[in-house]
């Protein structure tokens, strides 16, 4: 049975944190989390939310509301749906994620280094590779160079249809994304 998922505004979540009556779980990558996060939040990356982790969360919740957050809210919504499908109740999302939290002037902790988010790294990498392939084709007059832009264009279509991005997985192993 799936439970409803409610939403906290940044102000509402800050009030709950001050009262000590909410558990904040950030589902971004550990690299993103260490750079900047909501004080007293814990990091459980979305890709590690498997059956065992969800069972542990459900057992350790003790009726306390859980607020799920990420950078903008997309990954948090996926995580919250997984939790609700496991039968967890009292689940909240932070409206707009960490972007909205910082926009509202709420405090954050972390190393403070602003890395480019992984989804933007993917777009930049693909853009560079497409331009490089097209330029190589133009300057060498060898049409085989267009295979690279075609490959990455097909990868974007596949990623859009399936939600899986192989390039994002590869880029997540780079040192600045850990």
Q: Catalogue the active-site residues.
A: 70
The Cβ of residue 42 has, within 10 Å, a number of other Cβ atoms equal to: 11
Token look-up 């903008």 returns: 72
Token couple for 140: 């060498």
End-to-end Cα spacing for the chain: 35
63 backbone dihedrals φ, ψ, rounded to 5°:
75, -5
Question: Cα 136–141–142 angle (5° rounding)?
Answer: 75
**CB of 90 within 8 A of CB of 4?**
no
Which among 93, 82, 96, 87 has a CA at the least distance from the CA of 6? 93
């Amino acid at each position: 049975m799936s439970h409803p998922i409610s939403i906290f505004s940044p102000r509402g979540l800050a009030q709950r944190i001050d009262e000590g009556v909410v558990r904040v779980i950030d589902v971004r990558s550990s690299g993103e989390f260490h750079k900047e996060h909501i004080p007293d939040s814990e990091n459980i990356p979305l890709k590690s939310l498997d059956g065992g982790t969800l069972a542990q969360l459900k057992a350790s919740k003790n009726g306390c509301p859980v607020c799920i957050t990420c950078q903008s809210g997309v990954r948090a919504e996926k995580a919250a749906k997984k939790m609700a499908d496991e039968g967890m109740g009292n689940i909240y999302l932070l409206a707009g994620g960490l972007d909205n939290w910082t926009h509202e002037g709420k405090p954050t902790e972390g190393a403070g280094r602003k890395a480019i988010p992984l989804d933007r790294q993917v777009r930049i990498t693909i853009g560079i590779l497409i331009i490089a392939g097209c330029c190589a084709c133009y300057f060498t007059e060898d049409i085989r160079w267009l295979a690279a832009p075609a490959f990455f264009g097909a990868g974007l279509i596949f990623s859009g249809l399936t939600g899986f991005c192989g390039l994002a997985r590869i880029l997540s192993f780079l040192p600045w994304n850990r």
